[in-house]
Structure 1
Amino acid sequence: MENYKIFLENLSLISRKYKIINSTKETFNIFSILRNEYDEVNLHSKFITELLKDKNHGRKFIELLLPIIGVEKINYKRVNIFSEYSVKDNGRIDIILKFFLEDNKKVIVIENKIYADDQYQQLKRYYDSMLMEGYKSEEIELVYLTLAGAEPSEDSIKGLPAAVRENMRIISYKDDIITWIEDCIKEVAQVPIIRETLVQYESLLKKITGKGERIMTEEMKNMILSNKDYLDMVYKLTDVLVKIKQELQLKFWEKLEEKLNNSLNLQLEKRLEYPNHHYSENLIEKFYTNSRNNRFYGLMYFIKDLENRGKLYLRIEVSDNLYFGFRIINNEGNSTTNKKDDYLEKELLDLKFSRTDWWLGWKYFCSSELQNQFINFKELDSNLANVLRDNKKLERLTSEIEEEILEKLTILNLLNQ
């Protein structure tokens, strides 16, 4: 135990040193002020698109981006670039670049994922849409962009030809986009307004990907590798950290359930089939051990029967982040027909809820306790952990969630049904 104490004190000293260093750095960031830092659509996709479209530097920015995503240089006459590009009956593509060459064409489709979940056959649908627009398979480049370079889910790529899967580009903000932004900064070094904007965006990316703590991590790594006992301790502490995350998440659900049961005049459902499962210690354990079917659990409250439609529910759920919304389970027990139902469609869209087959409308929770960031249980970083372990902070967090749910139920006239 004494060795553990010394080890943890040494780690704490390194951490405190870098906290002091970071406290002297400039913290003003226009992106953080104007948008949620993790807003993939309204911040990241739009900003990247506008960079590529810039009339003075866009061509060079594209030239710098192509090798980053593994695409050979394109000698194009013209390029059209869009964010949130609508494809008939197949959703919206986050970023798309349509190149027009001398005698042919090429298209780059970029699916941008910060914390949103993959949709069923999402990349397959985008690929099919480009075929319908007249592109040949060899003219279509699919790019999957995430914070750390995660691969798309099997659901997302289901149905894609094997050759297309193999050629798909997997890139990350943490390495690839930060590298690209650094290259762009060098390119516009003599253009202050663009250079400083890019510097702030680079700073934001380092923050949300954790890359800004690379030097501190390097020092901790060197300390651990210098001592055999320290290395053994780290491997043991990895299991402890998983147990801590499981316990903290269970604590959250129990507190939220207690609070909502006291404030909602709604029936809590605990015995519905997947994917409407009630949270449990077993499901939370699977969530952190990469077991199959380890997501889509939470709290489910029956609101009312809808004639000829089924039952309407309030659902609070976790995938990676925590989110909530409204779902109909139809009279056949099916949860996947919500997008076809127009019940509350306009009202939910006006409230900025998103619609899918599984949801009449859903949206992420953000919390002032976490500087208005998403509540990410998969990552469950130290900031969230410290909120969950502190009973007063947990009370404030769950109260925020309760208030938002009650507000939306009131607006939609769904209380006291």
Structure 2
Amino acid sequence: MKGKFEKIKNQLKTNFANSVKMGKNDYNLFSILRKDNEEAGLHSAFIFSLLDTDGEHYQSDLFLKLFLCAIGYDNFFDDTKNVIVKKEYVASDDARYDIFIEENKKCIVLENKIDTSDNKGDDEKSGQIDKYIDNLSKDKKEFLLLYLTPNANKPKNTTKYDFSNDNKILDKNKNEIGKYGLISYDKEIKNWIELCLAKVNNPENLAIYLKAYLEVIDKILGRYRSVMAMKIDNLLVNYENYKFLSEMEKYFKNGYFEKRKKEILNKFLEKIKEKFEIYNPNLKFKILNEKERKEEEYLFKITNDNIENFFLQLDYQAQRNSVSFGIATKEKFEKQNINKDFKDLNSFKFYKDETYIYKEICNKNLIEYILEFDKNNLENSINLASEKFYNEIDNNFEILEPILEEFNNNPNRYLIETTQKDHK
């Protein structure tokens, strides 16, 4: 093991040194001066500095026009040269806007939230956004409220107003009082910065800062790859290296290896989800988020419409390194088992408490399952693994579908009474 570790370590050192010689680095002025997720001091300040038509970039309203284009409101203002942009604008005791953009009787308010818990005070009766809308509606201006988050999340704790699907803010009488937009760093802000980059070949220093800010966005989205991380990624493509490095996981800083495994797993699951949406939309393949995974101890689920007494279950047991697919009984039948006299099960088995009939479709660690299809090409291995995994489920669904229908049509025939002792 020591020899293998030394070989990989030396390979990493050599690859890293070669990258450094080529000028690769992780130097970023924004990250040095501020925390990457700092809303006011970094993100709002930089966004304002570009939007400000009198800013020291000396590009007049160019960046403002490109911003309006990126959010889909190119013609919101009559003349962008007359627009005034303010940072941390105090409109009232209850309203302090991160960025305020105004022209005569029109205005845009941008609320920036890296951390989307917008109402942190337990004693507040309504959320921050409610107070903003209260104040904006009093001014009798045509307004657009932009809520900027990493992934276009909706604001929390809005109790007085409705946000319609066509971007209208409605009062309790369903009257429109303004417009809103849910925008994200992942889409609109990245697109905007890229549009700005395309326009500023000269002066060169602006392009440097814009590129550096794109890196900061990747950091808050969890997508930034450091020079060393990219070198480790290259090693992970090799299956044997992966197996060895997984044994050395405790030596990696900042949980890097664990994060990388999650990225591989999520890519795999997303590809499976895409296949269900295209080829089998009646089955809903749901990827659980981190909170759901902790609460339910599942990574993913399959559901089908019109669930009655029995339902399809896709079960992943991480401790046993097993994925199974079958038919289970609903919780209301906790004192009843599936009748074992039912013979037409092909290769399906009964679970130990007899409330679940299943077939095992994977009996190893999911990451190892994913990587073994192409031991030299990670992307291809993910594609091949997701194809195989989906086909296993789809083929077994063809067998289970008539059985599921029969079970639900005749539940009394296929359920038998049991005792609590049987379930222990």
TM-score (norm 1): 0.45
TM-score (norm 2): 0.44
Structure index of larger Rg: 2
